[in-house]
């Protein structure tokens, strides 16, 4: 019997509350643990210097409990990716990508398409040149400390062992661009006839690199090319993300594997015991507030809400509800956070919460007035679906995949249009009956997707 291997590298190394990608891996692993014991489901993780290894089910169970907030974080060591023993290959890749970016746009794709199929040969050549350099140094300085060239150049792809058997299936849905060696995976695929299924959440780093941290377009073009060569099937979380990926792969000139749309679940795990609720969350439960659940980063567009709220304050709008941001601050947002903390117009009106547990998030959704989601671009927009699952109306961005979630059940606003956000928020808080009518329609017409349905569509053939 062939085994299905679920990669849990991402959640093993995750020590905060679950976000979109992490939640997907958590929920699918949870479903797999509940499947019939006769099911041939196993778990694995990846280490840059050792390759893939099996992860015991007990370790996965404890990891899920920790992330879901069911148990406090432990200091015990859980198997995590170790540091790579070499970095010359990454440096060389970065050097080449930087050179390509300096070329005219019309030439960049052509050069990238030429180099990508030859990258394995280039990597081998680079390693050979490095070994030759070390050997020459040893020849010229025979009294120097001997260098073990074999150990110095060791990497995961040098290993011949893996937990996989002929014809097995491998599924990864985590943060693969930072955690995997796709040359190694491709080699295993060919040697073992491994069936590889990977995920595409969005192609935003390539499509909208200016909204991301650093120069990521080249890195992610390379990543998506690797994914296309390795995968037999790629799961996409919306029609928008599928169409974006197909367009990108056509531009890159890679194979286009089967692209399958899966809908993400939107319920949040319930806790069996009485949860511990922070003072900050307890304070909000007796207040009127709007809720925005998202990592604080440029693409999520918290700034449009900040500007909309300052317009409302300047216009002397009375009885403004609190605006609650739930999410960890991302890179490059220090100036924005400083503005929130120092601007007297919003001090006390905009509240930031991070490290919120699932039980606390459930309470925040259930008790909010309505939610807001002004993101500039999304592969799906999970917090919008979560809001609807709790029966809460969401004033949402009109961008990308977001209208796919609920169709005409919601109202959509151009994410760049500050006056429109301000006017819509003002209208809703001054007309609470409108919100109640919208929520009544949501309760009658919206059908939420369960995470078990998502996992089944991925794991059950």
Chain segment 90-126, per-residue pLDDT in tens: 556 556 666 665 666 556 656 766 665 565 556 556 5
The yes-or-no verdict on residue 82 having pLDDT over 70 is no
Which segment, 58-72, 142-156, 319-333, 401-415, is predicted with the most confidence on average?
Answer: 401-415
As a whole number of angstroms, the distance between CA 47 and CA 55 comes to 12
387-398 per-position pLDDT tens digit: 999 999 999 999
DSSP class of 213: S
Strands (DSSP E) found in 262-331 = 289-293, 322-326
Task: Specify the length of the chain in residues.
Answer: 461
Looking at residue 157, its pLDDT comes to 53
**Residues 162, 175: Cα–Cα separation, whole Å:** 21
Strand 322-326 and strand 289-293: the pairing is parallel
Residue, of 107 and 17, whose pLDDT is higher: 17
Query: Regarding the domain delimited by 3-70+160-261, which CATH topology (the fold level of the hierarchy) does it fall under?
Result: Rossmann fold (3.40.50)
The residues near 2 (Cβ < 8 Å, ≥ 6 apart) are: 40, 165, 167, 168, 169
**Distance set, CA 129 to CA 136, 170, 249 (Å):** 10, 34, 32
Q: Quick one: which of 31, 33, 15, 24 has its CA closest to 80? A: 15
| Bridge partners (DSSP) listed for residue 397 | 413
Answer for the pair 153, 86: CB distance below 8 angstroms, yes or no.
Answer: yes
Q: In CATH terms, are 3-70+160-261 and 279-447 the same topology?
A: yes
Say what the pLDDT of residue 126 is.
58
Residues ≥6 apart with Cβ < 8 Å to 352: 296, 324, 325, 329, 337, 340
294 three-state secondary structure: coil
Nearest to 70 by CA among 62, 58, 78: 62
131 vs 73, residue with greater confidence: 131
**Could you tell me the residue ranges of all domains in the chain?**
3-70+160-261, 279-447
For residues 341 and 350, give the distance between their C-alpha atoms in angstroms, rounded to a whole number.
9
Lowest-confidence pick of 29-38, 91-100, 144-153: 144-153
**241: exposed, middle or buried (C-beta count within 10 Å: 0-12, 13-18, 19+)?**
buried
Of 80, 227, 89, nearest to 158 (Cα)?
89
Average pLDDT of 292-303?
96
For the segment 165-175, the average pLDDT, to the nearest whole number, is 97
Q: pLDDT at residue 285 above 50? A: yes
The secondary structure of residue 363, as a DSSP letter, is H
Question: Could you tell me what percent of the chain has a pLDDT over 70?
Answer: 78
Cβ distance 176 to 201 under 8 Å? no
Query: pLDDT value at position 275?
Result: 76
What crossing angle do the helices spanning 88-101 and 119-140 adopt, rounded to 10°?
Answer: 120
Token output for 311:
């317009």
Average pLDDT over residues 309-335: 94
Q: Is 380 exposed, middle or buried (0-12, 13-18, 19+ CB in 10 A)?
A: buried
Given the DSSP bridges, would you call strands 51-55 and 41-47 parallel, antiparallel or unpaired? antiparallel
Residue 411 to residue 367: CA distance in whole angstroms: 21
> Which of 387, 452, 381 shows the shortest CA–CA distance to 35?
452
Strand partners for 45:
53
pLDDT: which is higher, 272 or 327: 327
Has residue 58 got a pLDDT over 90? yes
| pLDDT confidence bin for 154, thresholds 50/70/90 | very low
Say if CB 304 and CB 422 are below 8 A apart. no
Compute, in degrees rounded to 10, the torsion defined by CA atoms 239, 241, 247, 250: -110
Class level of CATH domain 279-447: alpha beta
Encoded tokens for 147:
């260098």
């Amino acid at each position: 019997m062939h085994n299905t291997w679920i990669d849990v590298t991402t959640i093993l190394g995750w020590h905060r509350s679950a976000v979109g990608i992490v939640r997907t891996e958590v929920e699918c692993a949870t479903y797999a643990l509940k499947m019939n014991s006769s099911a041939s489901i196993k778990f694995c993780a990846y280490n840059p210097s050792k390759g893939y290894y099996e992860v015991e089910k007990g370790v996965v169970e404890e990891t899920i409990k920790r992330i879901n907030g069911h148990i406090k974080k432990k200091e015990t060591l859980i198997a995590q990716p170790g540091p790579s023993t070499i970095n010359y290959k990454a440096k060389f890749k970065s050097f080449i990508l930087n050179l390509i970016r300096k070329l005219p746009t019309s030439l960049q794709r052509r050069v990238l398409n030429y180099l990508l199929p030859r990258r394995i040969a280039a990597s081998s050549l680079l390693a050979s040149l490095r070994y030759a350099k070390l050997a020459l140094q040893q020849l010229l300085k025979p009294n120097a400390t001997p260098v073990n060239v074999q150990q110095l150049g060791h990497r995961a792809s040098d290993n011949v062992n893996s937990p996989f058997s002929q014809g097995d299936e491998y599924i990864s849905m985590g943060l693969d661009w930072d955690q995997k060696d796709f040359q190694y995976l491709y080699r295993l695929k060919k040697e073992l006839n491994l069936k590889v299924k990977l995920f595409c959440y969005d192609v935003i780093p390539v499509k909208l690199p200016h909204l991301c941290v650093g120069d990521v377009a080249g890195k992610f073009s390379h990543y998506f090319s690797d994914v296309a060569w390795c995968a037999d099937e790629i799961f996409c979380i919306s029609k928008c993300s599928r169409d974006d990926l197909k367009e990108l792969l056509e531009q890159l000139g890679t194979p286009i594997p089967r692209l399958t749309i899966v809908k993400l679940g939107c319920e949040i795990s319930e806790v069996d015991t009485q949860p511990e609720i922070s003072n900050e969350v307890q304070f909000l439960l007796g207040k009127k507030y709007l809720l925005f659940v998202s990592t604080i980063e440029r693409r999520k567009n918290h700034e449009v809400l900040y500007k909309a709220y300052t317009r409302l304050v300047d216009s002397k709008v009375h009885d403004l509800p609190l605006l609650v941001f739930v999410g960890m601050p991302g890179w490059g947002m220090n100036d924005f956070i400083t503005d929130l903390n120092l601007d007297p117009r919003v001090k006390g009106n905009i509240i930031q919460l991070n490290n919120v547990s699932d039980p606390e998030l459930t309470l925040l959704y259930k008790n909010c007035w309505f939610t807001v989601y002004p993101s500039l671009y999304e592969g799906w927009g999970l917090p919008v679906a979560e809001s609807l699952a709790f029966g809460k109306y969401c004033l949402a961005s009109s961008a990308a995949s977001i209208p796919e979630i609920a169709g005409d059940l919601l109202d959509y606003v151009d994410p760049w249009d500050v006056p429109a956000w301000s006017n819509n928020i003002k209208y809703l808080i001054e007309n609470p009956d409108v919100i109640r009518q919208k929520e009544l329609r949501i309760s009658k017409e919206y059908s939420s997707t369960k995470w078990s349905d998502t996992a089944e569509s991925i794991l059950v053939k």
